[in-house]
Amino acid sequence: MQLGLSVSDSDVSSFTPLVVLELADDTKAEAITWLLNRIRDKQQNGGAELLVNQLLFPAQDDQKPNPNVFVVGSTLQRLLNGAEDVGLFKEFQDGTMRGFTYANRESFKDFNEGFLSDAECQYIIKHELDTLRAKNEEHVPGYPKLKLYPGKSVVRRLQSKGVLIQYFPLHNKEDLKRLSFSWYKKFKLSLQPLDDIRHYFGEGLALYFGFLEYFTFALVPMALIGIPYYLFDWEDYDKYVLFAVFNLVWSTVFLEVWKRCSATLAYGWGTLSRKKAFEEPRAGFHGALGFNPVTGREEPVYPSSKRQLRIYLVSVPFVLLCLYLSFYVMMVYFDMEFWAINIYNENPDIATSILLFVPSIIYAVVIEIMNLLYRFAAEFLTDWENHRLESSFQNHLVLKVLVFNFVNCFASLFYIAFVMQDMVLLRQSLATLLITSQILNQVMEAFLPYWLQRRRNKKVHKRMRRLMGDKELPLLGQVQLETEMNTYLGTFDDYLEQFLLFGYVSLFSCVYPLAAVLVVLNNITEVYSDAFKMCHVFKRPFSEPAMNIGVWQLAFETMSIIAVVTNCALIGLSPQVKAYFPESDTQLILIVVAIEHVLLAFKFILAFVIPDVPKHIQVNLAKLEFDSLEALKKRVSTHFLKKEP
């Protein structure tokens, strides 16, 4: 399918569907007619000027199908105008990335063939639907209580009240088949097809898989050093100083190099210099009607003071309570650990030696359950705080989840390392936590979704064959299958998993050198399981333009700073270092703190010295900005010359 366009721009009854809209099955006929008219109406009349058709599913034996499912497409002309509206960057004839304009369309490379990808077309349609605004309507037709006001996003209003159940982009069968084959259907020791992933799913998801790939390769040196270190120094628990020093350097350089890789990818995809779109209020945002001072439009207004009160009087105490519960569970785990050790000391045999690992396994399972329950509570609280923008919502959610997950996953390891100072128990606990969490993640993220999706596919296909006989209705079957798929909730959980794995490696892998090896193996399987899920388990997500990994960059950098402090402290606790200061613990502490400050200073200097963006990309961006200023000057001078008598 080329550009996802209509068969003929003049034939609005036949087009390639790109997006599915599903309304509630009891939606009032007046509301449906009004919405479809607004979607089809001309832009100058306040419409989206898109193509939309209804899908009629055959009746089923046990239940009546939803009659309010529609597919949305567009003409080439409308998509090209939309590409300019959303600020899409495309490759120019000279090889630079420039903001697309319809007037200069012929100056862009490969304009006539494959110019707009499926993901870009669907992103444009989503933008046009999201910016479809109420005009003079006081309420949604047929729903007197569903109030509207001029400038309100129609789609967001219908979403917030449950009239619009979902809307999502359709998979392209042929493109998906090609991507699946090159991505995960054959095992290969090569790089992921990031450009193809970006072409199909968009830049945000492609950057996640780019980071996953980079993180995995960056762990290889740690793994290669860790294997012989594990084999030859396993019985000598004190010889971890050299590995800790390497850990310090690795965690410092790792993220600085990623910034450059990220900038290179984003520049090649045209998102590095792309201006951030103006954010609309979240669908769930509510408040008294007022005026936005930026847009001048009427929209809900919610006092910032009320939000701050909710955050500091409810959310913060709740998080502190959860942290207290986490510490309490940790102390219960230590009681179980001491109980198992005492039993082993009284009767050392195979059974009691196995019993030594049981408390850690139980604790690892409890940690995963607590993380999951806390995630639901954090989402509820963050939504209750009533943030106006999606970015603010995500930042507060990330902060809540990261603080709890960090304490819940790492508090016991810090306690063992620096309070108990038991490196043997630290090694055993780290290995058990890491292995157990990886097994649970693989079961929950790979095997369970695969099994559930196979059952769902067989059920839908069997039902369609029973109803339609030998008739082939691929679009109906595809839409019905995809409407029942799980909705992909974004890369939040994927980045969170990598963040925790990075913590296990950077903080304590010096006492368990195989940590990097286990994470490499986990990430290799993660690539294949995540790829399968994106292609066959979840609905296709809308493309999200991204120039970097966002707030997660700060999260990883914070973890790397903690890693410097932790590894310096572990070095200070080693008997090899303590032997140089047999009579003065104070002197040892002062020296360790001084070295830690020097390393932190080196880290920040390194971050300052190494440019986040490679030099050649900086030059191209500066050249593009210069050309834009020159073009603006030329237009202004031409305008004034025309006005002169």
Strands 51-55 and 69-73: antiparallel
Calpha distance 48→332 (Å, rounded): 59
Weakest-pLDDT range from 69-73, 220-224, 480-484, 636-640: 636-640
The residue type of 12 is: V
**Does an H or E element contain 69, and which?**
strand 69-73
pLDDT beyond 90 at 142? no
Alpha-carbon radius of gyration of the chain: 28
* 37 within domain boundaries: yes
* 233 within domain boundaries: yes
pLDDT higher for 405 or 583? 405
pLDDT value, residue 3: 38
Strands 164-169 and 143-147: unpaired
Average pLDDT, the chain: 82
For residue 319, give the 3-state DSSP assignment: helix
* 299 within domain boundaries: no
* 49 within domain boundaries: yes
Of the chain, the percentage scoring pLDDT greater than 90 comes to: 20
Calpha distance 159→283 (Å, rounded): 7
Q: Tell me the C-alpha to C-alpha distance, in Å, between residue 40 and each of 33, 34, 53, 120, 122.
A: 11, 10, 10, 20, 16
Choosing from 136, 170, 204, the residue where a domain stops is 170
pLDDT band at 4 (very low <50, low <70, confident <90, very high): very low
Calpha distance 500→402 (Å, rounded): 9
pLDDT beyond 80 at 185? no
Calpha distance 317→308 (Å, rounded): 13
pLDDT value, residue 317: 94
Please tell me whether residues 131 and 233 are part of one structural domain.
Answer: no
pLDDT band at 606 (very low <50, low <70, confident <90, very high): confident
pLDDT tens digits, one per residue of 451-491: 766 666 666 555 555 544 444 447 777 888 888 888 888 88
472-500 exposure pattern, b = at least 16 Cβ within 10 A, e = fewer:
eeeebbbbbbbbebeebeebeebbbbbbb
* 92 within domain boundaries: yes
Other Cβ atoms less than 10 A from the Cβ of 443: the count is 11
Please tell me whether residues 427 and 499 are part of one structural domain.
Answer: yes
CB 563 within 8 A of CB 410: no
Tokens describing residue 36? 């479809």
Calpha distance 32→142 (Å, rounded): 9
Calpha distance 350→343 (Å, rounded): 12
Please tell me whether residues 24 and 156 are part of one structural domain.
Answer: yes
Please tell me whether residues 124 and 210 are part of one structural domain.
Answer: no
Sorted by sequence, the CB contacts under 8 Å of residue 117 that are 6+ apart come out as 199, 200
CB 322 within 8 A of CB 404: yes
| Phi, then psi, of 89 in degrees rounded to 5 | -100, 135
Please tell me whether residues 158 and 228 are part of one structural domain.
Answer: no
For the chain, helix (H) and strand (E) counts, in that order, are 22, 10
pLDDT beyond 60 at 639? no
Residue with tokens 């440019």: 611
Please tell me whether residues 157 and 224 are part of one structural domain.
Answer: no
Please tell me whether residues 442 and 588 are part of one structural domain.
Answer: yes
pLDDT tens digits, one per residue of 420-454: 888 888 888 888 888 888 888 777 776 676 676 66
pLDDT beyond 80 at 589? yes
Please tell me whether residues 142 and 234 are part of one structural domain.
Answer: no
pLDDT value, residue 347: 82
Calpha distance 565→318 (Å, rounded): 29
pLDDT value, residue 438: 83
The residue type of 590 is: L
Tokens describing residue 428? 């055993």
CA 227, 231, 234, 236 torsion: positive or negative? Answer: negative
For residue 340, give the 3-state DSSP assignment: helix
CB 556 within 8 A of CB 252: no
* 181 within domain boundaries: no
Range of the domain at 619: 614-644
Please state the pTM of the whole predicted model: 0.85
Please tell me whether residues 445 and 461 are part of one structural domain.
Answer: yes
* 388 within domain boundaries: no
Please tell me whether residues 575 and 635 are part of one structural domain.
Answer: no
pLDDT tens digits, one per residue of 276-332: 666 667 766 777 777 777 666 667 788 888 999 999 999 999 999 999 999 999 999
First to last CA, the chain: 53
Please tell me whether residues 200 and 133 are part of one structural domain.
Answer: no
For residue 299, give the 3-state DSSP assignment: strand
pLDDT beyond 70 at 233? no
Please tell me whether residues 208 and 240 are part of one structural domain.
Answer: yes
Q: How many domains does the chain have?
A: 3
Calpha distance 268→95 (Å, rounded): 10
Which of the 8 DSSP states describes residue 6? B
pLDDT tens digits, one per residue of 36-83: 999 999 988 888 889 999 888 776 656 677 888 999 999 888 999 988
Residue with tokens 């219908």: 158
Weakest-pLDDT range from 104-108, 165-169, 450-454: 450-454
